[in-house]
Structure formats: C-alpha cells, structure tokens
Amino acid sequence: MSIHHTVRPIFARFTAAPQIGAFLAALAVLLLAGCSAAQPEPTATPLPTDTPTATLTPSATPTATATATRTATATPTATATNTPAPTDTATPTVTATATPSATLTAAQSSLAANVLVTSTPIVPGGPWPTPDVSQASDHYWLGRPTGPGTTQWASPFYPYASTGQGAYLVHHGADIANPTGTTLLAPVDGTVVFAGSDSETAVGPTTNFFGNAVVIEMDRRYLDQPVYVLLGHMSSVAVHPGQRVQRGQKVGEVGSTGIALGPHVHVEVRIGVNDYDHTRNPEFWLEPLAGHGTVAGRVLTADGRHLPEVPLLFYPGPDFNSPRYYAYTYIDGLGLIHPDDQWGENFLLSDLPAGDYLVEATVNGKVYRQNVTVQAGKTSWVEIRTDN
C-alpha cells in the first residue's frame, strides 16, 4: 500500500477452504474485500506541459478516473538484516495552518480534475485526536519483510485506512507484492505468537482471511504497550509459536492464501492487543528506504473534525510545478482504524525522496497549500485546517 507508481490491473487468485461452508463464506468476503498486489517498479510518469494559470472554482468537477499515477524517481533497496533498531530522534515539523487558494496551473487543474477532485462533497466526520506532535518521536522499528532485489515498497492503490477507491473493506495494513515463494523475513526481534493457517483460529476479521500467517510480538514496547506484527497470505510458514526470531530471519514465503488478489505479503502493526481492531498504519513503523522519508499530517476542519478521503498532491522542488506523488486522508474516523498514538495523523505518505515539496489539499473545491521539507529516515509533519 504505499509508494509511488502507476496503478496496473490486478489479477485475482483465490484459494478456497476445503469445506463448502468456509468456501462460500470466504467467497462472500472476497466480493467485499481483498488485498491488492502486483505493483510494478516505480517509474517517472510525464504530466501535461505547464501553461498559463487557470482558476479552480468551487463548482462540481468530473468524477475521478482510474488513470491516477503515483510515481517515484528512484528505487533504492533496503536490506533486511539483523541490525539494531533506530534510536528515536527529534523530528522536523511544519504545523502552520495552510492558506486557502483557488489558483492552479492548467496542468495542475487537469490532473486534479481528472484524477483526484470529484463531484462528491467531502462531509466532515467527528472530532479527531490532535496530540502535540512536537512531543512525538519516530518509531521506525521494522525492517522490510523482503530482502534485496525484491519489491520493498507498499502498494499505493490500497493503503492503510483506504478501500482501494471503493473496491474493498477498509484496509488495516499495507501490501507488498512479490512473486510466490519470495522469502519473507522477520521485520523485528521478537517471539512468534501465531504461525500457520487461520482456518480454525481467526487472526483477522474471520477465519480463512489471512490464510497462512505469522504474528510476532516485538521485544520492544511502545508507550508501555505490546506491539504485534502480522505477516499474512503466506504460501508457507517456517516458524512455530513460541519461537524466538531475529530481524532478518526467514519466517516463510510470499503467497496468496486466504483472501488475496495475487501473491503479496499483508503487513499489520497492532498496538496493545493482538487483534484486527487495534491496528496502526504499518508504514509509520517500516524503516524508510535509503534516501527517503515520510510526510504525515492532518487535514481537519477549523473546529478539528476529520475530513475523509481528501486528495493531496505532492509537488517536488525546486520548481513545484508538476505533481509527482499523491495520497488521501483516511477514509473513516475512529473505530475501524486508528491514528498513531503520538502523532494523530489522518494521512501518511511514506518512502518519499528527500527534498522540498509543496503539499496541496483540495476540499470541496478549495485548495490549501503547505510547504514541507522531507528528510531521509525521518517524519515531517503537515497540518492543514480548512476555513469552515
């Protein structure tokens, strides 16, 4: 679920349970949910040539199409080896309220109209947590679950707290696609608390959901709470419950067991309780790829209410004239998904190449902008409040 490439068609593959009842139940859930896979290596995508400015008005705009792209310039790999977890450090933040603007270049207007801005009004939800981010610290404690020479970034089509543009249930994790049989590595030192098929014991919302899965309880605790990492849809499992594992150790292989669309690993981070209702965005826990960082933030109403599915464009400097990456705010408020306890984000874009960016959010026809500098290996913060 996250970084930056053109969305490609997804090919379905479904493994049925032996019992007909389980098969029908799994098939019913498949119609509602699934995990995405099969993302290609990121490639730069040319955008329309910039022309004199045009004005974006609050009138209805065309519905978004399936031509959205989210690209990256380079694809460094991060080796998943048994190395010490990074030490928490002070984090750069940008917290000034954005100033509304209604002017876009023709290229920006075209992209916004055809990709991100829809005619469906964004309706505010309830109050959103707003912890003091100046007191927050990074916790990139997880290595990538696959090694060098593999896909290591998460799919942007179905990130945490999204529905894959309305195709599936709200996602509780991140998906990293690789061919069946690709070695899966323990992202962290810890103890295996579940390993094997979920046909009898549900580790997701139902049985036969993640198929073969491994759940590791980290040795480290977060805010005095246990942290669990789930790897799902595996073709095979190489560990057993109670076993101690070290970061970089093989725990199984990529597959598409359970409810899955193509071979990939579903990564979940669970805080406090090892269940499906206590997840956080795993891309806030995976170490950024070399030379990359993370932008997290909140887009809220003036009185602090959550704004779901707000489209955000990211324009790299120094010219800031061509959007290269995109994200959306989380689809739902509290209950189904949860922001980070320290950060309280309602959007996150990970593995963003370090550098200066202009972040642009469009809320019901109004455009809000904020500048931010991404530093490698760190989180940069953006907060935007609308004027109503």
Instruction: Tell me the DSSP string of 199-266.
Output: SSS-SSSSTTSS-EEEEEEESS-BTTB-EEEEEEEESEE---TT-EE-TT-EEEE-B--SS-SSSEEE
* Residue 277: band (very low, low, confident or very high) from pLDDT cuts 50, 70, 90: very high
- List the CATH number of the domain containing 272: 2.70.70.10
Question: Could you list the residue range(s) of the whole structural domain that residue 308 is in?
Answer: 53-136+289-385
Structure tokens at 72: 């990256």
Residue 261 lies in a domain: yes
For the domain that residue 95 is a member of, what is the CATH number?
Answer: 2.60.40.10
- Domain co-membership, 277 together with 293: no
Q: Is there a single domain that holds both residue 236 and residue 143? A: yes
Residues 211 and 264 in one domain: yes
Out of 7-11, 34-38, 63-67, 271-275, pick the least confident.
7-11
Q: Is residue 44 part of a domain?
A: no
The confidence band for 21, taking pLDDT boundaries of 50, 70 and 90, is very low
pLDDT greater at residue 166 or residue 214: 214
Residues 130 and 143 in one domain: no
Cβ(37)–Cβ(261) under 8 Å? yes
In the predicted structure, residue 250 carries a pLDDT above the cut 80? yes
Does 204 share its domain with 339?
Answer: no
Per-residue model confidence (pLDDT) at position 118 = 52
> Rounded distance, CA 69 to CA 257, Å?
28
On whether residue 7 sits in a domain, the answer given is no
Of 246, 267, 284, which residue sits at a domain end?
284
Contact 233, 211 (CB under 8 A): yes
One-letter amino acid at 145 equals: P
Q: What is the pLDDT of residue 74?
A: 36
Beta bridge partners of 177: 264
Quickly count: other Cβ atoms within 10 Å of residue 66's Cβ: 9
* 161 and 272, same domain (yes or no): yes
Weakest-pLDDT range from 119-123, 200-204, 215-219, 297-301 = 119-123
pLDDT of 114 strictly over 80: no
pLDDT-derived band at 249 (thresholds 50, 70, 90) equals very high
Q: Is residue 12 part of a domain?
A: no
> Do 215 and 347 fall within a single domain?
no
Predicted local confidence at residue 334, as pLDDT: 79
Q: How many domains does the chain have?
A: 2
Give yes or no for residue 47 having a pLDDT over 90.
Answer: no
Q: Is the dihedral of CA 148, 151, 153, 159 positive or negative?
A: negative
Answer yes or no: is 184 within a domain: yes
User: What is the reported pLDDT for 110?
Assistant: 41
How distant is the alpha carbon of residue 100 from its chain centre?
A: 27
Pick the more confident residue, 325 or 90: 325
Q: What is the pLDDT of residues 186-210, one digit of tens each?
A: 999 999 999 999 999 999 999 999 9
Q: How many residues make up the chain in this entry?
A: 388
* Per-residue confidence (pLDDT) for residue 165, from 0 to 100: 80
Closest CA to 186 of 99, 255, 249: 249
Name residue 312's beta-bridge partners.
327, 361
Q: How confident is the model at residue 120 (pLDDT cuts 50, 70, 90)?
A: confident
Share of the chain above pLDDT 70, in %: 69
Residues 323 and 369 both lie in one domain: yes
How many C-beta neighbours within 10 Å does residue 140 have? Answer: 20
Average pLDDT of the residues in 95-102: 36
Shared domain for 268 and 304, answered yes or no, is: no
Give the span between the Cα atoms of 194 and 295, in whole angstroms.
32
Residues 6+ apart with CB under 8 A from 195: 213, 214, 215, 237, 239, 240, 241, 243, 251
Look at residues 227, 252, 284 and tell me which one is the last residue of a structural domain: 284
Instruction: Provide the total of helices (H) and of strands (E) in the chain, helices listed first.
Output: 2, 21
**pLDDT greater than 60 at residue 79:** no
Question: Of 297 and 22, which is predicted with more confidence?
Answer: 297
Same domain for 347 and 269, yes or no, is no
- Confidence category of residue 235, pLDDT binned at 50, 70, 90: very high
In this prediction, residues 111-127 reach a mean pLDDT of 69
**pLDDT score for 272:** 97
Domain boundary pick from 217, 249, 284? 284
> Helix (H, G, I), strand (E, B), or coil: what is residue 116?
helix
pLDDT in tens, 304-360: 999 999 999 999 999 999 999 999 999 987 788 999 999 999 999 999 999 999 999
Same domain for 221 and 154? yes
What average pLDDT is seen over the chain? Answer: 78
Residues 327 and 240 in one domain: no
* Any domain includes 83: yes
Establish if 306 belongs to a structural domain: yes
Structural domain includes residue 96: yes
CA 173 and chain centroid, separation? 7
Mean pLDDT, residues 249-255 taken together: 98
